[in-house]
Amino acid sequence: MTRKRTSPDVTTREMIPEKAMIMSGFGINSEMETQEVLARSGMASDIVHINDIIAGRNRLTDYRLLVFPGGFSYGDDTGAGNAYANRVRNNLWDDLMTFLDGDNLVLGICNGFQILANLGLVPAFDNQHNREIALMPNRGGRLECRFVTLKPAADNLWTRNIGRIYCPVAHGEGNFFCSKETLQRLKRQKMIAFTYCHEDLRPAEGEYPVNPNGSLEDIAGITSADGKVLGLMPHPERAMELVNLYDWPLRKERMKREGLAVPAESPNMQFFRNVVEYFR
Amino acid sequence: MTCVHRIEVHYKIDPRLTTRTDRIRTLGFPVDKLHQIDVYTLATTSRDFTHEELSQVGSLLVNPVVQEYSIDRPMSAVFDYAIEVGFLPGVTDNVGMTARQTIEDYFSMKFCEGEAVYTSELFLVCGNMNLSTLQKLASTLANPLVNQVIIKTRQEYGVKGMDPVVPSVCLHELPTAETVDLDLDDRELTRLGKEGIIDRCSGQRRGPLALDPGQLVTIRDYFHKQGRNPTDVEIESLAQTWSEHCKHTIFASAMDDDVPDGLYKTYIQAATNTIRKEKGDKDICVTVFTDNSGSIIFDDHYLVTHKVETHNSPSALDPFGGALTGIVGVNRDTIGFGLGAKPCINIYGYCVGDPDTDPALYRGKDRANPILSPRQILDGVVRGVGVGGNCSGIPTPQGWCWFDQRYSGKPLVFAGTVGVMPRERDGRKLYEKQAQAGDLVVMAGGRVGKDGIHGATFSSEALDPQSPVTAVQIGDPITQKKLSDVIVKEARDLGLYHSITDNGAGGISCSVSEMAKECNGCHVYLDRVPLKYPGMAPWEIWISESQERMTLAVPPEKIDAFMELMRRREVGATVIGTFTDSGRCVVESSGSVVMNVGLDFLHDGLPKKHLISSYTKKTYPEPCIPCPERLDATLLAMLQRKNLCSKEFISIQYDHTVQGGHLLGPVQGAGRVQADATLTRVVHGSKKGVGLSQGLFPSYSEIDPFLMAAAGIDTAIRGLIAIGVPLDTIAILDNFCWCSSDEPGRLGQLKRAARGCYEVATAFGTPFISGKDSMFNDFSGYDAENNRVKISVPPTLLISSIGIHPDVAKAVSLDAKIAGDLVYVVGETSEELGGSEYFAHLGYVGNTVPGLDTATARERYGRMTEAILRELVASAFPVSHGGLGTALAKVAIGGRIGMDLTLSAGLRPDYYLFSESLGRFVVTIDPVNKRAFERIVGSDAILLGRVTGRALRITSEKLLVDCAVDELEASYKAPFRGY
C-alpha cells in the first residue's frame, strides 16, 4: 500500500475493528480518496477489484461496509452505472443479498449511486430490488463539475449532526427522476437524505446551478427503505480538508481577521464519521 | 449468414432535449426539436437471438424508469427527417464493446470472430429545411472520417425505419512482407518518400514515408552492404524511427555556423545542464529529457513527472478523436515514465480560429474536402480532452484557449499530464528501468488494427474518407484505465517487469526498438500480436498506432505471475518476442525474417543535416489614436475579447476534483474568474502541493521571437509565484509549434526563440525537464474560387511550468476578499504594447513587445514568495494578456467587490492600463499587514488604493473608469455564454 502520512493537525479517530470493502475496476476511479477519508474517520478498508470477488479471492462477508465509489465505470456506456450494475447482478447477486441481510451498510457515491440505482438497492421498498429511480443525463447535456451545497432532508444515521455539506459534483448523469408514486413514498418514508440548496440553506427549487443537474425536488441522495443503503451524487470525500473547499481562501482570510483558529478539516468529515460511528 | 438485430433505446421524456435543440439552433439550424435515439445493432453468425433473448438484451441496456427499447421495430414518432450516424468500419466503438461485454456476461457466452455489437445514434429532426441545410446539419452531427451517415425523410423512413448499420471490416487477402527496390532515380525516390511504397495488390501508394531522397539513398546503401534489398517492413520501420516526430531532426541538426550541435543541445539541454550544475545539492531534477516524461523531486519520498504533447494534425481532421487520443496518449507518457507513474493531473491548451467565423477553405480543388469550422474544432477538442480525462479519473484543472485566425487552417491542441510516484520501493529506484537480454517482450492493453497507420509520418493527403478502414484513431479511455490501474497500482509495486514504455507514434516498431536500446537487441514475432481483425500485412502490424497499448520487458521467471494478474484484471497481454543482446532488431512473420536491421543504424543511421537560417526583423505600423476621455467602454470591450474573457464552460465540463486533491481550481472567487495557475494535492496527507501554470504569446512572435519566448517563460513562472510556489522549486517544459520549418526565415525565428529559452531559463534557474516540437503547422489548400491558399500558424511556443508548494494552507487565490484591503501593483509598467490585446482591439500590431529584466524579476519573485508564505497577502494575480486594467477588473470580479484606485501620472492612461509589461502582480492585503508587506516587497509595490464598494473606480488626473463590478462580470462572461 502507499505510504500513509497524515498532516499533524488532522486528527485521526481511533480505528474500529470493522473493515470496509471499496469496490474497484472497469473505470471506478475514486477508490483511493475514499479509502483515505474512511481511514481519517477511523475505519480501515480494502480496495477490491470486482473480479476478485467474483473469483472468490475476497468475500463480502468479511466486511461491514460496502462502498461503491465514484468513477466512470465502463465509460458510462449504456447509461451511467448500468454496465457495472449488470456485472454485479449477473455475478454477485446472492452474495450481495446475504450482505444486506446482515447488520451492514452500503454507500454509493456518484457512479456508486448510479450503480445502486440500477441494482435497485435504493429505494428497495419492501425489500424489493426493482429499478424505481433513474439518474438521467444532466439537463445541461454534459458533465458538470462544481461545488454545491447540500442539506439533510431526513434525520437518519447518515445525516446525523450535519448542518450542511459543501462539496463538488462531477457527473454527466445525476439528474434524479422517479414517478410521482415513488416520490410520494420516498417522502412518506423519509428516504430523501440530502437535497441541493442555496448557501443559506434555502431550497434550490430546481434553479441552476444550485441544483446542478435538474434533479427532481433537488434530490441529491436517498436511502433504502431500511435506511442501510445510501446513494449520493456529490462527492464529500473530495473535500475532506478546509483547503479542498472552493472558497477556502476567503473563509481562511475571514477567520484570520476575526482571530479564529483556522481548522484543517472541512465540516464534510461529519458525514464519514457518522458512517463509522454506526459500527462503534 | 449474419443475423442482424436492431435495438433502439430512447428516453420516455428526454431531459436533454431542450439543451440539445438549443445548441443546434444557436449554430443556425431551423430545428424545432432534435430527438436522439441510441441504436444497438447485434450482428452474429454463430447463433441467433430469440425474441425473448433480445428483450432481455433490451432490458440490460435501459433503465425502465425513464427509457424504453424496441426490437427490430422503428420508433413511430413525429418528425420530418431522420439522420443516423454510425461508425465507419474499423473505428473503435466503445459503447458497442461495453454492450457486447454485458451481453456476454449475461448469457455466459462469447462473441466469435466477426461478431459484434455496433452502436449508432439516430437523430429525429423536427423542422423545415432544404436538402443542403439538412446535409450541413448531418455534417455537424458527424465526421466523415469516422462516421457514416444515412439521411431519410419521414416518407422514406416509412414504417420500416432505418436500415441496419453493420460496419464490419472486410479484408480478404492475407498479405505478406515484400521487398522494395530502392535503385530508383531521384524523381522516383522523391515520390516514394512523399507518397509511399506501391501496394502490390491495389497498385496504389500506401501513404507517406516522409523520407527524403538523401535518407532513402542512405537506406539503400545500408542494404547494399547487407547484400539484399530491404523489405517493406524495414523501410516503413525506418521511416517511423527517423521521422521528424520521433527524431526531431530540426532541433537536432546543426544550424548555421554558430550552432553546430543543434538548437536542442545548445539552448534547451544546455540550459538544464547549466542550471543543475549551479544548483548543486539543490538540484530538483530527477530524470530529464531521456524518459517519456521529465521529473522533479516532490519530497523525500515522491517525485512528480510532467509532459506536454501536441496532437495538431489529427485534431484538424477529427477534433474529438484527435484531442481524445492526444490526452490519453500523454497519460501513457506518465504510465511509461520509469516503471510507471500514476497520472494525477491533466492540462490542456487550444489554439483555434475565431469560433464566430466560418472560413471557406478547402483541402481539395473545386470546394472539395472543406476544413472544419473553428466552432466545430473547438467543440470537438473541448469534448475530446474532457472525455479522456473524465473517464480516466484524472483531474483537469489547468488550461487555456487562444484565438487567432491563423489557427483556422490548423488548430494546435496541447495536452499534458502530471504523474506522481514513490522514488523508491523495496530498494528499487522506480524512476529507472532496464530491459535485459532474455526478458520477454509483452504488449499489453488493446488490440492492433489499421487505425493510425502512418501517424508519425502523417499528412492530410494520406487520409481518404473512402478508404475502408480509416487512419483516424478513437481512444478508448476505459481500456486504458484498466491498463493504467493494473500497472501503476499493482504490477509496478510487485516488481513484475524490468522496463515499460508507451506505444505512441510508430506503434510497437518504435516502442520495442526503443526499449531494445536498453539491452541491445530484440526479436519479435508479428504473428503473435493480437489483432482487431484478420488480414493485416506485417508492416501494418509493426507500425500501427492503435491506442491504449504499452510494451513491457518481463523477465521469464515473472511472466506467469504477470500474465495471471493481467487476466484477472481483464487487460489483454501477449508475449510477442524476446529482448536480446544481438545488437539487432529482428522481426519475424509466418516463419520468415521480415526485418533484420542493426540497432545502431536504426537509431543513429539518419544522415546529418545542416540547416541555414536567416532573420529579418519585421516592422508594423504604430497606432496613432488618441487616448479616450473615459476608459469604461474600452475596459468592457477588453473583457469581452475572446482571449481575455471567461471560458468557464470548458473548466466546468472537466472534472477537476477527482482524486481529492483540489486546492486552487480553474475558476476562483465568488465571481468565478479563470485562474492562470492551479494547485493540486497529489499525495494525501502531505502539506505540499503541485502548482501548474502556462505561458503563451503567439502575438509577439512575428515582432520578436526572443522576447516571445521570454514572455512565455516569465508568465508561466509568475503564475506559480502568485499562488506561493517558490522559484527554486519550479521546472518548465517547452512545446514549439512552428510553421514552414523548411524556410530559413522561420528557422531564424526558431533560433531566436530557442536562444530566448536558454537566456531566460538560466537567468531564473528554472530547468527544462521535457519538451516537444511540431514543426510544420501549415495549411495548404484552396479558397472557394480555387485560388491556392497557405495559412501558417504564428510561431507558437507554449511554456508549461510545474512547481512544488511547500505549504498549501498558505496558498493564495486571485480574488479580492474584504472591503478595506489595500490594492497594489507590484512591478513596473512601461509602454510595451506591441502584439498586445489592446493594440489588437485597436486593429494594430505595433512593435514594442515587453522586455524582461530577469535579475530584477527574480529578486521580486523571491520577495513575493516571502510575503505570501508569511501570510501577508490576501490575493495575488499575475498581470498578463490584457495588462493591468483587465487584471484589476478580474481581481474585482473574482471577489464581487469594488475598488477605488488612483494611478500615478506618467504613461498615457490607456497604455498604463493595457500595456503587457512582464513581471507584474496585482496584490491585495489586509491593511494591518501594510508595513510588513512593504518592508518585504520594497519599492516594487505601488499602492493603488482600496477594495471598497460595488464599482471599479480608476482615477488618474481625472476619472477614467467607474464601472459596476456586475457590469464588468457580465462583459467578462458574455462571449461564451451558451457554449
CB contact under 8 A, B422 and A246: no
Confirm or reject contact between B662 and chain A (CB < 8 A). Answer: yes
Cα(B487)–Cα(B340) distance, integer angstroms:
7
**Cell, residue B871:** 501570510
CB contact under 8 A, A87 and B105: yes
How wide is the angle at C-alpha A173 spanned by C-alphas A167 and A179, nearest 5°? 105
pLDDT at B146: 79
pLDDT at B430 over 50: yes
Mean residue pLDDT across chain B: 93
Q: Which of A2, A28, A88 to probe the B interface (max B CBs under 10 A)?
A: A2
Sheet strands side by side (includes A165-171)? A43-49, A16-24, A65-68, A105-109, A229-232, A219-223, A192-197, A144-152, A165-171
- Residues 214-243 in A contacting B (C-alpha not used; CB under 8 Å): 214, 235, 237-240, 242-243
CB contact under 8 A, B102 and A131: no
Cα(B133)–Cα(B136) distance, integer angstroms:
5
Residue B830 CB contacts under 8 Å (≥ 6 apart), including other chains: B850, B851, B907, B915, B917
CB contact under 8 A, B662 and A32: no
For residue B176, which amino acid is it? T
Closest CA–CA distance from residue A84 to any residue of chain B (Å): 9
Length of chain A: 280
pLDDT at A108 over 90: yes
Beta strands per DSSP E along B291-382: 294-297, 302-310, 342-352, 361-362
CB contact under 8 A, A238 and B392: no
pLDDT at A11 over 90: no
A25, A82, A143 ranked by CB distance to B386: nearest: A143
> Which helix or strand (DSSP H or E) is residue B43 part of?
strand B33-44
pLDDT at B375: 93
Find out whether B42 and B112 touch, Cβ atoms under 8 Å.
Answer: no
Cα(A88)–Cα(A83) distance, integer angstroms:
9
**What does the H/E/C string look like for chain A?**
CCCCCCCCCCCCCCCEEEEEEEEECCCECCHHHHHHHHHHHCEEEEEEEHHHHHCCCCCHHHCCEEEECCECHHHHCCCCCHHHHHHHHHHHHHHHHHHHHCCCEEEEECHHHHHHHHHCCCCCHHHCCCCCEEEECCCCCCCEEEEEEEEECCCCCCCCCCCCEEEEEEECCCEEEECHHHHHHHHHCCCEEEEEECCCCCECCCCCCCCCCCCHHHEEEEECCCCCEEEECCCHHHCCEHHHCCCHHHHHHHHHHCCCCCCCECCCHHHHHHHHHCCC
Cα(A7)–Cα(B615) distance, integer angstroms:
55
| Residue of chain B minimizing CA distance to A180 | B65
User: Mean pLDDT highest for which of B55-59, B178-182, B211-215?
Assistant: B55-59
Chains A–B, number of C-beta pairs less than 8 Å apart: 213
Residue B733 CB contacts under 8 Å (≥ 6 apart), including other chains: B294, B306, B307, B308, B416, B768, B769, B770, B771, B799, B800, B801, B802
Phi and psi at B566, nearest 5°, equal: -65, -40
In this predicted complex, what is the ipTM?
0.95
B569, B656, B812 ranked by CB distance to A51: nearest: B569
Give chain B's radius of gyration (CA, Å): 29
Residue A141's closest CA among B15, B978, B85, B140? B15
B564-619 tens-digit pLDDT: 999 999 999 999 999 999 999 999 998 999 999 999 999 999 988 899 999 999 99
CB contact under 8 A, B568 and A131: no
CB contact under 8 A, B65 and A133: yes
- Residues 890-949 in B contacting A (C-alpha not used; CB under 8 Å): 895, 926
CB contact under 8 A, A36 and B685: yes
| Residue of chain B minimizing CA distance to A131 | B65
> Which helix or strand (DSSP H or E) is residue B196 part of?
none
| Residue of chain B minimizing CA distance to A5 | B685
For residue A228, which amino acid is it? K
| Residue of chain A minimizing CA distance to B650 | A144
Alpha helices by DSSP H, listed for B37-185, are 51-60, 94-107, 131-141, 154-157
A140, A238, A247 ranked by CB distance to B19: nearest: A140
Residue B169 pLDDT level (bands cut at 50, 70, 90): confident
Helix axes B232-241, B213-226, angle to 10 degrees: 130
Closest CA–CA distance from residue A268 to any residue of chain B (Å): 13
CB contact under 8 A, B669 and A264: no
Residue B41's closest CA among B104, B92, B116? B116
pLDDT at A9: 45
- Residues 8-27 in A contacting B (C-alpha not used; CB under 8 Å): 10, 24-27
> Which helix or strand (DSSP H or E) is residue B943 part of?
strand B941-947
Closest CA–CA distance from residue B690 to any residue of chain A (Å): 14
Fold of the domain spanning B3-157: Mth169; Chain: A , (3.30.1280)
Phi and psi at B557, nearest 5°, equal: -70, -15
A233-271 tens-digit pLDDT: 999 999 999 999 999 999 999 999 999 999 999 999 999
pLDDT at A34: 98
- Mean pLDDT is lowest, of A237-241, B417-421, B467-471, for B467-471
Q: Is the dihedral of CA B489, B495, B496, B498 positive or negative?
A: positive
DSSP 8-class letter at B484: H
Phi and psi at B440, nearest 5°, equal: -90, 140
CB contact under 8 A, B871 and A52: no
Alpha helices by DSSP H, listed for B520-586, are 538-543, 559-568
Confirm or reject contact between B391 and chain A (CB < 8 A). Answer: yes
B65, B657, B684 ranked by CB distance to A178: nearest: B65
Neighbours of A45 (CB within 10 A): 20
Confirm or reject contact between B530 and chain A (CB < 8 A). Answer: no
CB contact under 8 A, B568 and A141: no
Which SS3 state, helix, strand or coil, does residue B458 take? coil
Q: Give A-chain residues touching B683 at CB under 8 angstroms.
A: 5
The predicted model gives B815-837 an average pLDDT of: 97
Residue A4 pLDDT level (bands cut at 50, 70, 90): very low
Q: Give B-chain residues touching A253 at CB under 8 angstroms.
A: 817-818, 874, 926
CB contact under 8 A, A75 and B61: no
Distances from the Cα of B686 to the Cαs of A41, B285, B465, in angstroms? 17, 20, 51
Adjacent-strand bridge partners of B789: B781
Q: Give B-chain residues touching A125 at CB under 8 angstroms.
A: none
Residue B335's closest CA among B293, B364, B281, B390? B293
pLDDT at A12: 59
pLDDT at B462: 35
Cα(B739)–Cα(B286) distance, integer angstroms:
32
Cα(B733)–Cα(B309) distance, integer angstroms:
10
| Residue of chain B minimizing CA distance to A28 | B393
Helix axes A269-277, A31-41, angle to 10 degrees: 70
Residue B208's closest CA among B448, B409, B453, B410? B453
Q: Is B172 exposed, middle or buried (0-12, 13-18, 19+ CB in 10 A)?
A: exposed
The residue extents of the domains of chain B are: 3-157
Residue B264's closest CA among B795, B753, B703? B753
Q: Give B-chain residues touching A252 at CB under 8 angstroms.
A: 809
Which SS3 state, helix, strand or coil, does residue B468 take? coil
Residue B451's closest CA among B468, B433, B466, B437? B468
**Cell, residue A100:** 444486506
Tell the residue number behind the cell numbers 530584477, with chain if given.
Answer: B856
pLDDT at A3: 40
Neighbours of B16 (CB within 10 A): 20
Residue B185 CB contacts under 8 Å (≥ 6 apart), including other chains: none
Instruction: Give chain A's domains with CATH numbers.
Output: 16-277 (3.40.50.880)
**Cell, residue B786:** 480555387
CB contact under 8 A, B477 and A75: yes
- Residues 108-167 in A contacting B (C-alpha not used; CB under 8 Å): 117-118, 131-134, 136-146
Give chain A's radius of gyration (CA, Å): 18
- Residues 168-207 in A contacting B (C-alpha not used; CB under 8 Å): 168, 170, 172, 175, 177-179
Phi and psi at B676, nearest 5°, equal: -85, -15
Residue B475 pLDDT level (bands cut at 50, 70, 90): confident
User: Mean pLDDT highest for which of B213-217, B290-294, B299-303?
Assistant: B299-303
Find out whether B946 and B820 touch, Cβ atoms under 8 Å.
Answer: yes
The predicted model gives B831-844 an average pLDDT of: 97
Q: Give B-chain residues touching A37 at CB under 8 angstroms.
A: 660
Confirm or reject contact between A86 and chain B (CB < 8 A). Answer: yes
**Cell, residue A180:** 410521482
pLDDT at B447: 87
CB contact under 8 A, A145 and B11: no
A158-215 tens-digit pLDDT: 999 999 999 999 999 999 999 999 999 999 999 999 999 999 999 999 999 999 999 9
- Residues 768-827 in B contacting A (C-alpha not used; CB under 8 Å): 808-809, 811-813, 815, 817-818
Residue B57 CB contacts under 8 Å (≥ 6 apart), including other chains: B7, B40, B42, B49, B103, B106
A71, A175, A240 ranked by CB distance to B15: nearest: A175
Q: Give B-chain residues touching A87 at CB under 8 angstroms.
A: 102, 105
Residue of A244 and B313 predicted with greater confidence? A244
CB contact under 8 A, A170 and B66: no
Confirm or reject contact between B482 and chain A (CB < 8 A). Answer: yes
Tell the residue number behind the cell numbers 458574455, with chain if given.
Answer: B974
> Which helix or strand (DSSP H or E) is residue B93 part of?
none
Closest CA–CA distance from residue A175 to any residue of chain B (Å): 8
Closest CA–CA distance from residue A149 to any residue of chain B (Å): 14
Neighbours of B32 (CB within 10 A): 12
Closest CA–CA distance from residue B107 to any residue of chain A (Å): 9
pLDDT at B472: 62
B918-964 tens-digit pLDDT: 999 999 999 999 999 999 999 999 999 999 999 999 999 899 999 99
Residue B313 CB contacts under 8 Å (≥ 6 apart), including other chains: B322, B410, B458, B459, B460
Positions of A annotated as catalytic residues are 110, 235, 237
Tell the residue number behind the cell numbers 435501459, with chain if given.
Answer: B62
